[in-house]
Amino acid sequence: MTIICAVLGLAAGHAVRRLTPWLASVRHEGPVFRLPWVELVGGLAFGLCAATVGWPWCVFALLLLAVTSTDFLCKLIPDRVIIPGTIVGVLFSASRPHQINAFLGQGAWAQDNGFLVALMGAGVGFGLFELVRRVMGKAVGMEVMGMGDSMLLLMSGAFLGPKMIVLSLVPSLAAGLALGIPYTRIAKTPHLPFGPALALGSFVTLLAGQRILDAWVDFAVWTQTAPPAVTMGAAIGLLVVAVGLMLRVRKRRADYTKQIEDEYDQLEDR
Q: Where are the domains of the chain?
A: 1-76, 84-269
CA–centroid distance for 260 within its chain: 21
| 43 close to 96: Cβ distance less than 8 angstroms | no
Q: Is residue 34 pLDDT above 60, yes or no?
A: yes
pLDDT of residue 142: 65
Q: Is residue 3 pLDDT above 80, yes or no?
A: yes
Mean pLDDT taken over the chain:
80
pLDDT of residue 188: 65
- Is the CA virtual torsion 30, 36, 37, 38 positive or negative? positive
| 191 close to 149: Cβ distance less than 8 angstroms | no
| 27 close to 21: Cβ distance less than 8 angstroms | yes
Alpha-carbon gap, residue 208 to 46, rounded angstroms: 15
End-to-end CA distance of the chain: 41
Confidence band of 204 (pLDDT split at 50, 70, 90):
very high
pLDDT of residue 257: 61
pLDDT of residue 201: 93
- In this structure, of 1-10, 66-75, 134-143, the range with the lowest mean pLDDT score is 134-143
Q: Is 31 left (phi over 0), alpha (psi -120 to 50) or beta?
A: beta
Instruction: Give the pLDDT mean for 200-216.
Output: 86
Instruction: Give the pLDDT mean for 115-123.
Output: 87
pLDDT of residue 81: 93
Amino acid at 75: K
> 112 vs 49, which has greater pLDDT?
49
Instruction: Give the pLDDT mean for 201-219.
Output: 84
Alpha-carbon gap, residue 41 to 205, rounded angstroms: 17
pLDDT of residue 157: 92
pLDDT of residue 265: 53
CB atoms within 10 A of CB 8: 18
| 197 close to 172: Cβ distance less than 8 angstroms | yes
pLDDT tens sequence across 243-253: 666 666 666 66
pLDDT of residue 104: 54
CB atoms within 10 A of CB 158: 29
Q: Is residue 18 pLDDT above 80, yes or no?
A: yes
Q: Is residue 12 pLDDT above 90, yes or no?
A: yes
Identify the three-state secondary structure at position 37.
Answer: helix
Instruction: Give the pLDDT mean for 25-46.
Output: 80
Across 109-113, 185-189, 211-215, the highest mean pLDDT is recorded for 211-215
> 136 vs 64, which has greater pLDDT?
64
Q: Is residue 39 pLDDT above 60, yes or no?
A: yes
Cα–Cα distances in Å, from 254 out to 8, 20, 30, 43, 183?
A: 46, 31, 34, 41, 21
Cβ-count burial 162-192 (b if 16+ within 10 Å, e if not): bbbbbbbbbbbeebbeebeeebeeeeebbbb
Q: Which residues contact 226 (CB under 8 A, 6 or more apart)?
A: none
Find the helix or strand (DSSP H, E) in which 204 lies. Answer: helix 195-225
- In this structure, of 100-114, 145-159, 161-175, 216-230, the range with the lowest mean pLDDT score is 100-114
pLDDT of residue 99: 53
Q: What is the pTM (predicted TM-score) of this model?
A: 0.83
pLDDT tens sequence across 148-185: 899 999 999 999 888 889 889 888 888 887 877 776 66
pLDDT of residue 259: 60
Note the helical H segments in 37-168: 37-52, 58-74, 79-95, 97-104, 114-140, 147-167
- Give the largest CA-CA distance in the chain: 59
